[in-house]
Amino acid sequence: MDFKELQKGVVENAMKYGENYNVKIDEDFALLKLYEEVGELAQAVLVHRKKSRPEKHVSEDVSKKELAKELADVIGMAIVNAYLFDIDLEDAIEKKWINKRK
């Protein structure tokens, strides 16, 4: 799957979520949801590193899977934000991360 296909699938999934739950997927929602997902990622890191309440501790395998899910949520919401702000995220990543010196 290339990046454009990935973006398309993520955006379609977000819009379907909005339809299913009668939530308007706009810039405000997407930004706040991104913050929420970053918080969930931080919580997953704390659990993974055993820096949380002991009752939250799980095996390394389970915590790593949870980290992956939360990181995917963060990236997904970043993609939705890019779509809503009409930003070509692939181009932006290329310029900011890959070919920064050009």
Calculate mean pLDDT across residues 17-27. Answer: 98
Tokens matching residue 3: 């990046």
pLDDT in tens, 57-89: 999 999 999 999 999 999 999 999 999 999 999
Please tell me the CATH superfamily of domain 3-98, with its number: MazG-like (1.10.287.1080)
Domain locations in the chain as residue ranges: 3-98
Buried b (16+ CB within 10 A) or exposed e, 54-74: eeeeeeeeebeebeeebbebb
Tokens matching residue 9: 């699938």
Average pLDDT value over all residues in the chain = 96
pTM of the shown model: 0.92
pLDDT exceeds 60 at position 102: no
Q: Predicted confidence band at 100 (pLDDT cuts at 50, 70, 90)?
A: confident
Calculate mean pLDDT across residues 22-45. Answer: 98
Amino acid identity of residue 59, one-letter, is S
Q: Is 90 exposed, middle or buried (0-12, 13-18, 19+ CB in 10 A)?
A: middle
